[in-house]
């Protein structure tokens, strides 16, 4: 799928802005001794400068693995990319030598990890870890790299940054660690940042602060952002477009307003109906029956059909293609057009 036909690269039917990052028909497997898990099955999406693409889905849908493939940090083996392309400013990263990919990480594309305590090295101060990038990539002295580390901590609104630069990760609160992780990821001013559930382990108040900080920095630097999350409330506030993933594939693409107004895939509908709502206080919360499929044994037909409220016989026999719908959106459902008019 080319960037000119990728429904994820358009919003409200308008002409797409040039994409910074393009994932095109990506297939990835994890090969074990007895079976192979088909983790990504033709994933395609793109993000442009200043744009936020939210990637939604249950755990195990392939959201984080796609991001790790972009960053080149999937363990291979057991991981194997069998086909597809990952283009960063038009350059196919899968054809690039490892040193080239290392040069691009942090400089052009960076990732904010879900668990900052695991991502940060516990035996070095936060200031050392942030400053290391300036020393290695910019050739700065220890003094200058320390100064830049303080500036980055100050940028992400960590109080008393000149002193906290000497602190170790365990000496920060969860919210402050996440801010430090953001500072490290954005230190070299990348064009694209991938935020992998950056607020999952934080309380609601801190979640809002972190997302406000990310969107403010994104606007200031005109970065493209891929936001991986399962929190529809966060998505509604910050996303421009949404890609919904299930069983290693994208099942729906739409701009945020269209998707919340009229989802066109049963999985998206089910996700939205499972959200707590103030107007349904006191009522039982809806759930999606069953469990996501074993990726080593994905059922024939549509992978969602065993859990789908709309499933018919064709759904267990024919795997629907991701088709373009009016308004520049798309859905991989046999009844997508019907759902647009319901």
Query: pLDDT digits over 307-325, tens only?
Result: 999 889 999 999 999 999 9
Report yes or no: 108 and 191 within 8 Å, Cβ to Cβ: yes
Integer Rg of the chain from CA: 21
Q: Quote the CA–CA distance of 235 and 311 in Å, as a whole number.
A: 27
The tokens for 67 are 């991001």
State the burial class of residue 34 (Cβ atoms within 10 Å of its Cβ: 0-12, 13-18, 19+). Answer: exposed
Q: How confident is the model at residue 277 (pLDDT cuts 50, 70, 90)?
A: confident
Identify the pLDDT of residue 5.
37
9, pLDDT greater than 60: no
Tell how strand 249-255 and strand 241-246 pair up: antiparallel
Ramachandran area for residue 2 (φ above 0: left; ψ -120 to 50: alpha; else beta):
beta
- Could you give the CA distance from residue 329 to residue 15 in angstroms, rounded to a whole number? 13
Residue with tokens 């668990």: 115
Reported residue count of the chain is 342
Yes or no: say if 191 and 18 are a contact pair by the CB < 8 Å rule. Answer: no
Which residues are CB-contacts of 295 (< 8 A; sequence separation ≥ 6)? 37, 38, 39, 60, 247, 248
pLDDT in tens, 52-79: 999 999 988 999 999 999 999 999 889 9
Inter-residue contact 262 to 256 (CB < 8 Å): no
Spatial distance between the Cα atoms of 113 and 128, rounded to a whole number of angstroms: 18
- Listed in order, the ranges of the chain carrying CATH 3.40.50.300 are 7-108+190-340
pLDDT the model gives residue 183:
93
Q: What is the pLDDT of residue 8?
A: 42
Residue pair 8/54 in contact by the 8 Å Cβ criterion: no
Sequence-separated (6 or more) residues with CB below 8 Å from residue 171: none
List, for residues 232-252, the tens digit of each pLDDT value: 888 888 999 999 999 999 999
pLDDT surpassing 90 at residue 117: no
- Domain 7-108+190-340, architecture per CATH: 3-Layer(aba) Sandwich (3.40)
Q: How far apart are CA 304 and CA 87, in angstroms?
A: 29
| Mean pLDDT, all residues of the chain | 89
On whether the CB atoms of residues 251 and 329 are closer than 8 A, the answer is: no
pLDDT tens by residue, 137-183: 999 999 999 999 999 999 998 999 999 999 999 999 988 998 999 99
Residue 14 tokens read as 């308008």
Name the DSSP class of 80. E
Q: Is the pLDDT of residue 2 over 60?
A: no
For the CA atoms of 128, 68, 87, 109, the dihedral, rounded to the nearest 10 degrees, stands at: -20
């Amino acid at each position: 799928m080319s960037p000119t036909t990728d429904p994820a690269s358009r919003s409200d039917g308008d002409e797409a802005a040039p994409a910074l990052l393009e994932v095109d028909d990506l297939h990835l497997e994890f090969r074990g001794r007895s079976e192979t898990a088909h983790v990504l099955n033709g994933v395609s999406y793109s993000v442009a400068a200043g744009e936020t693409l939210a990637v939604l889905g249950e755990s195990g849908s392939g959201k984080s693995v796609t991001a790790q493939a972009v960053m080149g940090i999937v363990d291979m083996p057991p991981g194997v990319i069998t086909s597809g392309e990952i283009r960063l400013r038009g350059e196919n990263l899968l054809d690039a030598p490892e040193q080239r990919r290392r040069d691009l990480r942090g400089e052009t594309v960076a990732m904010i990890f879900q668990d900052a305590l695991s991502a940060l090295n516990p035996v070095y101060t936060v200031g050392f870890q942030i400053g290391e990038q300036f020393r290695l990539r910019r050739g700065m002295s220890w003094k200058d790299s320390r100064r830049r580390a303080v500036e980055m901590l100050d940028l992400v609104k960590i109080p008393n940054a000149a002193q906290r630069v000497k602190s170790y990760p365990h000496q920060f609160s969860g919210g402050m660690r996440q801010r430090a992780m953001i500072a490290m990821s954005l230190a070299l001013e990348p064009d694209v940042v991938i935020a992998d559930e950056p607020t999952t382990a934080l309380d609601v108040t801190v979640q809002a602060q972190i997302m406000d900080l990310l969107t403010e920095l994104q606007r200031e630097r005109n970065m493209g952002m891929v936001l991986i999350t399962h929190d529809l409330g966060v998505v509604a506030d910050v996303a421009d477009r949404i890609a919904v993933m299930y069983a290693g594939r994208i099942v729906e693409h739409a701009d945020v307003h269209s998707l919340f107004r009229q989802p066109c895939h049963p999985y998206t509908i089910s996700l939205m109906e499972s959200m707590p709502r103030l107007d349904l206080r006191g009522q039982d919360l809806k759930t999606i029956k069953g469990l996501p499929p074993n990726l080593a044994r994905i059922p024939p037909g549509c992978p969602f059909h065993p859990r789908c409220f709309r499933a018919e016989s064709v759904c267990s026999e024919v795997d629907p293609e991701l088709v373009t719908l009016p308004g520049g959106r798309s859905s991989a459902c046999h009844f997508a057009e019907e759902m647009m008019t319901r």
